[in-house]
Homo-oligomer: A and B are copies of this chain.
Amino acid sequence: MAIPKGRENKRNGTCVTSIDVAALAGVSQAAVSRAFTPGAPIAADTRKRILEAAQKLKYVPNSIASSLTTRRTNMVAVILGNMNNPFYMKVFKCLAARLQAQGRQILTFTVDTGASSDDALMRVLRYQVDGIILTSAQLSTRMTALCHERGIPLVLLNRYVPSAETPSVCSDNSGGGRMIAEAFLRAGARRFAVVKGDPFGTTSQDRLSGFLAGLFEAGITRNHILELEGNAVYEGARNAVFQAFRDGNQPVPDAIFGINDAMAMGVMDALRGMLNICVPEDVMVAGFDDIEEGARWPYRLTTVRQPVETMVDKAIALLKLDTKPGAVDTGICIDHKIPCQLIWRDTVRLTEQN
């Protein structure tokens, strides 16, 4: 292929268009567009010829320019709350892989744990994103209304806004909390502690309420359940357990539930590393999420697995990125009962019933 005269790339490379590439490759402009769209139907040799022409001309498709016609920027904002919890990094990796395979990229916004997401959402609105996925806790109805008015789909992942109709995806956190209660009870536990996470997060609240409901039904009373504040992070849980039981302050319970795996790992390190208490012989421990770190040898943590890939796929589907932009969709979709699975490892004693 010879490069047509006057078509060579100029200094800043922005003047070459898909028309030039189409001319050089001998295809239609639509074919050039398909060649650069992941998953679009195009013959392999046609795509190869187009990419060679693009390389010769130093052509790069421009998402911002094409957004002027398609009204799509191929950017999805992801608002992250607790980046110190490996579970959210796992979610983020999965979101990045899935969206990237669709030809979309993540614009990242972070919020301090427990802080409102409103400021982050105001910042998000300064960019033209095709959708927003929010994994942090607090959110005002004013901000969700503002996103809705602007036609930008917003989906909550691993949390929801009580009494609001914002689309959201959660696993069955309450049912999972109950599974842990039942596992502890079957293993013979009668005195309990629970290390709580973000007080404003529905995920932490639901896991706690499911756990407590399971215990209450078995006749366990409030005065046999110690509640500790772990602030959703490893260090918080480790320090809370150490402070609670150091110097024989109070009797150590039979079993401790860390509301997430990161905190359950902190509980184990406090028990074994700081208090010289054996797990599970002296105290049983369980977590929630099933992060890779909890499955490793020093922990082998019994936990509840959240189906991250299913949750991420559902959240992306709820954004409806492939429907016509601006089309108002009044159907609300809230999915809070994606099934979880109890993962037996070594931190809860096995009984014949288990």
Q: Are B11 and A149 in contact (CB under 8 A)?
A: yes
Q: Are B150 and A14 in contact (CB under 8 A)?
A: yes
A73 → chain B closest CB, angstroms: 8
Contacts of A110 in B (CB 8 A): 93, 96-97, 100
Q: Are A149 and B13 in contact (CB under 8 A)?
A: yes
- Chain B residue with Cβ nearest A272: B297
A236 → chain B closest CB, angstroms: 13
Contacts of A60 in B (CB 8 A): 122, 125-126, 146
| A89 contacts B by Cβ under 8 Å | yes
The answer to whether residues A297 and B274 also contact, given A146-B13, A149-B58 and a CB cut-off of 8 A, is: yes
Chain A interface residue number, banded: 35 or more
Encoded as 1 (CB less than 8 Å from any B CB) or 0, chain A from 64 to 93 comes to: 100100000111000000010010010001
Copies in the complex: 2
A262 → chain B closest CB, angstroms: 10
In whole angstroms, what is the CA distance A67 to B128 when docked?
A: 12
| A330 contacts B by Cβ under 8 Å | no
Residues on A facing B (Cβ under 8 Å): 9, 11-14, 36, 58, 60-64, 67, 73-75, 83, 86, 89, 93, 96-97, 100, 105-110, 122-123, 125-128, 146, 149-151, 234, 269, 272-274, 293, 296-299, 326
Q: Given contact pairs A62-B128, A64-B67, A105-B127, enumerate 15 new A-B contacts (beta carbons under 8 Å).
A: A9-B149, A12-B151, A13-B150, A60-B122, A60-B125, A64-B127, A64-B128, A74-B126, A75-B127, A89-B89, A96-B108, A96-B110, A100-B110, A105-B109, A269-B297
Task: Provide a sorted-by-A list of 5 A–B residue pairs whose CB atoms are within 8 angstroms.
Answer: A12-B326, A58-B146, A62-B128, A64-B67, A269-B297
